Structure 1
């Protein structure tokens, strides 16, 4: 039998956003506001992300779809790439994500997709400090991990390219 490694993670859960700190409530509020501006004519699934930088700036992004599906971009990557382009020397402290369908209210917390996990992991590895991730559906419970790498424990990194 081959050797095995057990991987586990801790996910914290809040009953609703009111149970989070005022800083996180404001961040999630910004994510909700931008979620409603998402361009989603095909999936009808809106996502908003708000990023808190170490200098206090908040960067937001929403998902932007395209008829050529791979050409669209998720909310998390829209926000994180903008933050990287405009504030390349600022560390990302926290990201808040909210997602819901236009015709179906998602009440379960919606985590970032795999591509977004990898993109956020790249920034976490680059800055050598964790990025706290909060995520929720349209309303209701909020989940939190203290590091994106908790959601992607075997992340691909630049170390494999050297």
Structure 2
């Protein structure tokens, strides 16, 4: 009988000061922040905005959209990636920026993608066989940077028949 073995996974996030961002990432941060202000979040009062740049340089943004029937609401990340893939299915998403704030507070709140969004991001990385850089805004003037969804979701759901 084989003895038990461990699978060990490590990941890391980098803390990046906003002032160290290049023009592309700074623009995405501003787009995501603007999208946050337009979110429809009357039930949770938690607004999320996301912005993405595709490999051809096009940028898009979206925000969370809630519904009184809670499971029906959709996260900003999934709206954004779904829209860009539906309209530009051959263009790889390269950088995704996520911002959040409470409706009653103009200050940022730290947020990372939920489990559904993490799995969705992993699907696009798998489709394009390339990582998506993920930047998550924090209220202290820094962002968390994941070089790939692997840093946030080390054990992804995959086709187990391979």
TM interval, shorter chain, is over 0.9
Corresponding residue for residue 99 of structure 1: 100
Corresponding residue for residue 66 of structure 2: 65
Corresponding residue for residue 4 of structure 1: 6
Gaps (5+ residues) in structure 1? none
Aligned 8 A contact 2:35 2:50 in 1: yes
Corresponding residue for residue 91 of structure 2: 90
How far apart, CA to CA, are the structure 2 residues paired with 1:139 and 1:31?
Answer: 17
1:21-51 Cα shifts (integer Å, max 9, x gaps): 1110001100001110000000000000001
**Structure with max Cα Rg:** 2
Gaps (5+ residues) in structure 2? none
Q: C-alpha displacement at 1:140, in angstroms?
A: 2.1
How far apart, CA to CA, are the structure 1 residues paired with 2:104 and 2:86?
Answer: 34
Query: Per the alignment, in what secondary structure is the counterpart of residue 55 of structure 1?
Result: coil
Q: C-alpha displacement at 1:138, in angstroms?
A: 5.0
How far apart, CA to CA, are the structure 2 residues paired with 1:47 and 1:97?
Answer: 7
Corresponding residue for residue 160 of structure 1: 160
CA RMSD, Structure 1 to Structure 2 (Å): 1.6
Query: Per the alignment, in what secondary structure is the counterpart of residue 160 of structure 2?
Result: helix
1:71-126 Cα shifts (integer Å, max 9, x gaps): 11000001000011010000010100001111246655311111100011100111
Question: How many correspondences in the alignment?
Answer: 160
TM-score (structure 1 length as normaliser): 0.92
Corresponding residue for residue 27 of structure 1: 28
Aligned 8 A contact 1:108 1:141 in 2: no
